[in-house]
Amino acid sequence: MQKNQYRGVKKFSSNSQFSIKKMINIPKGTKDLLPQISHKWHEIEGIAREVARVFNCHEIRTPIFEHTELFTRSLGDEAEVVSKQMYSFLDKANRSLTLKPEGTAPVARSFVENNLEQYGLPQKMYYISPIFRYENPQAGRLRQHHQFGIEFYGSSSPYADAEVILLAKTFLSKCGVTANLTLNNIGCAECRTEYNNALKKQLEKQKDCLCGLCQNRLNKNTLRILDCKSPNCKNIIKDAPKISKFVCECCKEHFKKLTDILKNEKINFTIDDNVVRGLDYYSKTVFEFAGNDGMAICGGGRYDGMVEELGGKQTPCVGFGVGIERILLAAEKEGREFEQKTVDYYIASLSPEQLDYCFDLSQKLRAKGISCEVDLMNRSLKSQLKFADKIKAKYSIVVGEDELKSGQLKQKDMRTGEVTEFKL
């Protein structure tokens, strides 16, 4: 055995009756959702579902893995997600499958495969799903993280863009997160081809000054250089041509109408030519919400070519994805408190002889929708009441021989100490 091979292993003496077991740790970049914090997730997910309901969006659930080709075709072979971050594997039939690295392509696949157009357009859908990317873990972004996503299918109207942005804004607000909206118009495929050539030509002049990642992007995904966080690259792209100079009249009109709608709805925003999003499928509108500390929380835009790319009819689409882990981080930074639901009653037995009665009473209360707990650990009365306090039970009831004879029970308010007598 190599030295330090088993970290966290408890050692036993040679005459111990126990064998040494290797402790299995959680994989890097993943996190357990513990019972002590799951209520925060429930609250955020509840807000997501309620906001989606108000905007008449319906849930869609796609498999946790898809054929690898779905992502290489929709995201582009040269996208960083595809080339570096996907968890792909061969199954027993030698088919290449991938844990989904983003939620939009699977929804598009489902839209085409299940002919969702037959149910009328627009189709307004949402998902809450784990997402898998092999990258260095960072604040609010793990190798398995979770997203709330919105997908609108069928409308090319700027009002659809505005509705998606307003939905995101509403969700963030209800989560207690202050976020700043940034927009850009990256044009249609034709606009971007012309711009991409001009940008590449300009950046080729300073290729040696770009970071290693951007030197690679120059020939594969030039637009992504605009999104680089390297101070040196940021300085170089200051003098790069702006995409706004290359968009066609149709794309300009679409973006102008969108900004007019947002102004009319009193939504503050800034326009930034460097917002391009990280995936190749975006067109026309792209947007991001970031916290006051600059951390990106939510991003999305329009992707009118995806359905056609996956074998369906040309169908305009717009949507966004927001990381739930990042929402929780941002909300807690702003002092958002998440109320943890507690048990209504703890029913304590004075001695083991009363446990049958306590257990039966707990079942009757639960049948009425009242949450309760009874002793399952053979504790003393004192320990039972300590545990009731630890789990923050609202009320406690102590059942002894006298209570069984009289049928009179007493409940104690665990917060105020007030005692109330009642008969079942």
Alpha-carbon span 297 to 289, nearest angstrom:
6
Start-end of H helices in 292-354: 306-309, 324-333
Where in 75-211 does DSSP place strands (E)? 87-90, 96-99, 123-132, 144-153, 180-185
Alpha-carbon span 319 to 126, nearest angstrom:
9
- pLDDT recorded at residue 19: 67
Count of C-beta atoms within a 10 Å radius of residue 114: 11
In what order do the strands lie in the sheet containing 296-302?
Answer: 58-59, 123-132, 144-153, 317-323, 296-302, 283-290, 180-185, 270-271
Burial (CB count <10 Å: 0-12, 13-18, 19+), residue 424: exposed
**Contacts of residue 25, Cβ cutoff 8 Å, sequence gap at least 6:** 7, 8
- pLDDT recorded at residue 261: 98
Helix H or strand E segment including 194: helix 189-204
Count of C-beta atoms within a 10 Å radius of residue 326: 22
Count of C-beta atoms within a 10 Å radius of residue 37: 14
- pLDDT recorded at residue 2: 46
- pLDDT recorded at residue 8: 46
Taking the CA atoms of 344, 348, 354 and 359 in sequence, report the sign of the dihedral they define. positive
Where in 9-69 does DSSP place strands (E)? 58-59, 65-67
Across the chain, which has 424 residues, the per-10-residue mean pLDDT values are 46 56 93 95 98 98 98 81 91 97 97 98 98 89 95 98 98 96 92 84 86 82 77 83 89 97 97 77 92 90 94 96 95 92 95 94 96 96 96 96 92 95 84
3-state secondary structure of 254: helix
Q: How far is CA 232 from CA 138, 143, 206, 211, 295, in A?
A: 22, 28, 11, 8, 20
Alpha-carbon span 141 to 421, nearest angstrom:
52
- pLDDT recorded at residue 5: 45
3-state secondary structure of 282: coil
Q: Taking Cα atoms as reference points, which of 147, 148, 116 lies closest to residue 51?
A: 148
**Contacts of residue 260, Cβ cutoff 8 Å, sequence gap at least 6:** none
- pLDDT recorded at residue 4: 47
- pLDDT recorded at residue 279: 60
Q: How far is CA 21 from CA 28, 383, 389, in A?
A: 21, 33, 36
Let me know: does 45 contact 324? Beta carbons within 8 Å: yes
Q: How far is CA 255 from CA 62, 235, 241, 326, 418, in A?
A: 31, 27, 19, 28, 62
Burial (CB count <10 Å: 0-12, 13-18, 19+), residue 156: middle
